[in-house]
Amino acid sequence: MSRDDARTIRAGRRSVRIQRPGKVLFPGGGGAKEYTKGDLADYYRAVAPYLLPHLRGRPLMLERHPDGLDGPRFMQKNTPEHYPEWIARAEVGKEGGTVTHVVCNDTATLLYLADQACLTLHRWLSRTDRAGGPDHPDRLVLDLDPPGDDFAAVREAAGRLRELLDDVGLPAAPMTTGSRGVHLVVPLDGRHDVDTVREFARDLAETAAARHPDRLTTAARKQDRGDRLYLDVQRNAYAQTAVAPYTVRARPGAPVAVPLTWEQLDDPGVDARRWTIADAVDQARTDPWAELPARGRALGPARRRLADIRP
């Protein structure tokens, strides 16, 4: 098969055509392995049983690289008219109108997006198919953004955030971003609106920074952070997104955002780009978030506890 040939992959009741599967999306060199569009499609087909539960019902922003990492990048929100009608969509409000996002509910959609050279899936923290809709998130995300590539600082900060979350009665799970840092994901019951959740996330981060002012900061301006780790809560705002678990990142070697156990995060051999499309499915099969409650927690009790312990 030449690089210009097409492949057809069966996914449930549908067959999805992958055009030019030999097209290189992740060039090799410098210690990084080369990966093609066909490799991307094979990965998303294999990881679909573990990835789809994190995508269903959620509007997506698609990060596309039609010519691979060396070409231009497109951040796509609105669904093009030529996308097949069987791909789910969600129309949500924006300032001055609406935007119709892709919603990925099945493996066939994942494969179609791979054919479109969509490397990374950025998901909303709310679902449009649940009560409350896009205004009521069922996930809270704390983004631990290190100064430089200091993953040891990320590991330390995650432990301190976990202690604070335990104090307010909220379970959380870590996930490498596949880039530089870690996301701490807190499942919620979806009863509170996005402004309430964002305010709580901000108060939580400020409390953590006040406990450890020499190590953590909520300063938005980089020049105000020094060598402290930034606790970013902006992903909890309306229409903001976070990388989905098991999504591929647009970096050399095709690293993957991977859920971890807390024990794995403590491993000094683990960093943000530890897993790639070559081995992320093996990690998924271990079910690292097995201990995370299936049902999200109410935010009310946590808000009251946090109010009691804030400095």
To the nearest whole number, what is the mean pLDDT of the chain? 95
Nearest to 68 by CA among 117, 5, 125: 117
Q: How many CB atoms lie within 10 A of CB 32?
A: 16
- In contact, 147 and 283? CB cutoff 8 Å: no
**Which one-letter amino acid corresponds to residue 219?**
A
User: Quick one: average pLDDT of 44-58?
Assistant: 98
Q: Does the pLDDT at position 2 exceed 70? A: no
- For residue 245, the number of C-alpha atoms closer than 13 Å in the C-beta half-sphere is 27
Contact, 144 vs 218, CB < 8 A?
no
Task: Look at residue 1 and tell me whether its pLDDT is greater than 70.
Answer: no
Q: What CATH number was assigned to the domain covering residues 7-133+243-248?
A: 3.90.920.10
Q: How far apart are CA 135 and CA 259, in angstroms?
A: 25
Of how many residues is the chain composed?
311
The pTM of this model reads: 0.95
Determine the average pLDDT of the residues in 155-170.
97
Alpha carbons 194 and 7: distance in angstroms, whole number? 42
Ordered by start, the domain boundaries in the chain are 7-133+243-248
pLDDT tens-place string over residues 220-260: 999 999 999 999 999 999 999 999 999 999 999 999 999 99
